């Protein structure tokens, strides 16, 4: 009697997914909280100018700019990096599930997971395709 990919049973996949999601949320929260503390330390006593709307700075509108700001230890860049990590956690989770379902040779779930992953990726990069 042969075993059908016993190392990739449902309990193991569930455990890996739950730990992965927990780690993603904890790491993202660390960056957001750290950036928030830096931001409050630098700008916590400033009064907001509600009469003038300035929007998001140009360097925080792209992944490259966010990474550059975070590596330069700018508080807003660190916060944005945490939010990016939080946003990409489900993408990595669905990608792992796609791999796990493919390993288990479950075609139905591979197809459904591929559709979900495509929808997630399109929602993240679709605006760049049509602008």
pLDDT of residue 105 exceeding 70, the answer is yes
For the residues 22-49, what does the mean pLDDT come to?
Answer: 92
State residue 2's pLDDT score: 46
pLDDT of residue 40 exceeding 90, the answer is yes
33 to 29, 82, 83, 116: CA distances (angstroms): 6, 9, 11, 30
pLDDT of residue 72 exceeding 90, the answer is yes
State residue 76's pLDDT score: 93
Q: What is the mean pLDDT of the chain?
A: 88
State residue 1's pLDDT score: 44
């Amino acid at each position: 009697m042969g075993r059908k990919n016993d190392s990739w049973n449902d309990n193991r996949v569930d455990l890996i997914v739950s730990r992965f999601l927990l780690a993603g949320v904890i790491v993202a929260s660390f960056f957001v909280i750290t950036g928030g503390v830096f931001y409050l330390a630098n700008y916590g006593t400033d009064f907001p100018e509600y009469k003038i709307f300035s929007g998001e700075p140009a360097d925080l509108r792209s992944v490259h700019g966010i990474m550059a700001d975070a590596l330069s230890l700018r508080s807003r860049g660190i916060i944005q990096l945490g939010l990016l990590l939080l946003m990409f956690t489900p993408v990595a989770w669905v990608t792992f599930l796609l791999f796990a379902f493919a390993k288990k040779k479950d075609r139905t779930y591979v197809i459904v997971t591929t559709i979900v992953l495509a929808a997630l990726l399109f929602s993240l990069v679709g605006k760049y395709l049509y602008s």
